[in-house]
């Protein structure tokens, strides 16, 4: 099996060892709305500096155990054989003392009740890295070593990173983030990071990825396109040719078989069966989150810090009263439970010949339309470009290996020609054909 198809990172291996393939529930604690950066593309555009108290966090932990004992709707022995305690902000490392206290309380409670979670838990955080080398953070990592996944966000090369990931004075943050990433990689073997693609940096895909791969000898790089409005066909053209250039570099440097780019997920660009009802994300209740004030949300992005304008948070409970304590909360839960791919998608999306791999965010749907049951499709042109680039990647790889397998190019000609010249499209068609 080629290395590019093998999962990397000690954290995923720990999951396999510890949970044995049984269901794992991620429960998110929004410990602060504050952040020491002002990233230009951040979806948390309504931060107010609020922080979670230890009292609120303990009530959230209590509710987790109570819900599990009662066979609750989202936390129960079937869905949560193990738990991932996720801490997020803002910047979560700004509240590392609170996080440590919450984990102490969680573990003490699990041991007291001889609960399966006393051995079936992990801690997950994503950080900008600015506070990584401080003593409180290092002490936490030593204390919980083997249980922590700490992802450090580095937008690859310094120029790309510093163009978007800036502090309140506009200064770039690359040097601190890169130093944190290098240390996490060296000490714990954690290579988790993510390059966020936004209109302002899409022209730097090639430089960003090659720098990250060469600098850290990575065999996996994750990147994603933001959901927000603002993408144009010109951005899609840029992304396709940047990705194609990246594939050629991987081939010419002998890395094509050894580097996994999740932008080229193999499931991209195929039609979906009419019977496929799965919502794309877990934002209909599967990503249960506790807000700083104790409100219970279906996903962290329904928090007030992530919603713009006058859109209120979408609340399904509170740590003081539980999940679904009011009629309004129960109605919200029923609405979320009823959402399917069909209910929120247009006919164009349902009949799309390249529907697989096209992402959306239920909470962003809510932010834009006032309901999570209407799909925002601002990334449509970017998905088309991604499918074209995936075709180039996979069929270049298959032919290099001498394989008869091919990535089917299902994108309609007229769609492709909005993004690439006719000669480029004909090349992709030829590459996808059998010899």
Model pLDDT for residues 37-74, shown as the tens digit of each residue:
888 888 777 777 799 999 999 999 999 999 999 999 89
Mean pLDDT within 221-226? 88
Using CA atoms in the order 182, 119, 284, 274, what is the torsion angle rounded to 10 degrees? Answer: 90
Which pLDDT belongs to residue 281?
85
Q: What is the pLDDT of residue 5?
A: 30
151: enclosing H helix or E strand:
strand 148-152
pLDDT digits (tens, 9 = 90+) for 355-373: 999 999 999 999 999 999 9
Span 390-418, average pLDDT: 96
Q: Is the pLDDT of residue 240 over 90?
A: yes
The radius of gyration of the chain from alpha carbons, rounded to an integer in Å, stands at: 22
Q: Residue 215, SS3?
A: helix
174-188 vs 205-216: helix crossing angle, rounded to 10: 40
Q: Could you tell me the residue ranges of all domains in the chain?
A: 1-191+285-338, 194-276+345-435
What is the percentage of the chain residues whose pLDDT exceeds 90?
72
Query: Tell me: the pLDDT tens digits for 290-320?
Result: 999 999 999 999 999 988 778 999 999 999 9
How many angstroms separate the CA atoms of 213 and 235, rounded? 23
pLDDT band at 168 (very low <50, low <70, confident <90, very high): confident
How does 188-222 read in b/e, with b if 16+ C-beta sit within 10 Å?
bebbbbbbbbbbebbebbbbbbbbbbeebebbbbb
Locate the DSSP E strands across 216-305.
220-221, 223-225, 260-261, 289-290, 295-297
Range among 41-55, 107-121, 170-184, 217-231 with highest mean pLDDT value: 107-121
Instruction: Quote the CA–CA distance of 152 and 185 in Å, as a whole number.
Output: 10
Its pTM stands at 0.89
> Phi/psi at 7 (nearest 5 deg)?
-65, 145
Per-residue pLDDT, 18: 64
Cα separation values, 78 from 22, 25, 82, 202, 252, Å: 9, 10, 10, 42, 48
Mean pLDDT of 321-348: 95
What pLDDT shows up at residue 107?
98
Q: Give the chain's length.
A: 435
């Amino acid at each position: 099996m080629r290395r590019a198809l093998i999962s990397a990172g000690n954290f995923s291996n720990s999951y396999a060892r510890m949970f044995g393939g049984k269901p794992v529930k991620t429960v998110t604690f929004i410990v602060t709305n504050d952040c020491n950066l002002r990233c230009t593309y951040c979806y948390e555009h309504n931060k107010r500096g609020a922080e979670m108290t230890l009292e609120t966090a303990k009530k959230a932990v209590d509710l987790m155990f109570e819900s599990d004992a009662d066979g609750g709707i989202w936390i129960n022995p079937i869905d949560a054989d193990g738990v991932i305690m996720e801490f997020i902000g803002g910047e979560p490392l700004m509240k590392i003392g609170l996080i440590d206290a919450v984990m102490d309380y969680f573990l003490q409670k699990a041991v007291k009740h001889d609960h399966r979670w006393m051995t079936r838990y992990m801690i997950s955080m994503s950080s900008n890295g600015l506070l990584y080398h401080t003593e409180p953070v290092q002490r936490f990592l030593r204390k919980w070593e083997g249980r922590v996944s700490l992802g450090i966000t580095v937008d690859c090369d310094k120029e790309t990173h510093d163009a978007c990931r800036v502090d309140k004075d506009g200064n770039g943050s690359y040097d601190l983030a890169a130093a944190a990433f290098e240390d996490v990689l060296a000490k714990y073997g954690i290579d988790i990071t993510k390059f966020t693609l936004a209109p302002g940096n899409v022209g730097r895909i090639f430089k960003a990825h090659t720098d990250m791969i060469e600098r850290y000898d990575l065999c996996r790089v994750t990147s994603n396109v933001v959901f927000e409005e603002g993408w144009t066909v010109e951005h899609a053209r840029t992304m396709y040719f940047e990705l194609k250039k990246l594939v050629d570099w991987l081939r010419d440097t002998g890395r094509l078989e050894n580097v996994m780019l999740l932008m080229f997920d193999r499931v991209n660009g195929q039609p979906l069966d009419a019977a496929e009802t799965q919502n794309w994300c877990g934002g209909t209740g599967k990503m249960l989150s506790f807000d700083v004030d104790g409100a219970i949300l279906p996903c962290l992005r329904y928090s007030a810090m992530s919603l713009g304008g006058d859109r209120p948070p979408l609340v399904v409970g509170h740590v003081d009263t539980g999940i679904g304590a009011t009629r309004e909360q129960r109605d919200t839960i029923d609405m979320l439970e009823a959402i399917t791919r069909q209910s929120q998608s247009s006919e164009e999306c349902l009949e799309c010949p390249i529907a697989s791999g096209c992402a959306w965010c239920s909470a962003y749907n809510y932010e834009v339309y006032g309901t999570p049951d209407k799909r925002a499709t601002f990334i449509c042109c970017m998905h088309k470009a991604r499918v074209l680039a995936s075709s180039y990647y996979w069929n270049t790889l298959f032919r290099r290996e001498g394989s008869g397998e091919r990535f089917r190019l299902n994108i309609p000609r007229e769609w492709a020609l909005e993004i690439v010249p006719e000669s480029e499209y004909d090349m992709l068609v030829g590459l996808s054909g059998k010899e």
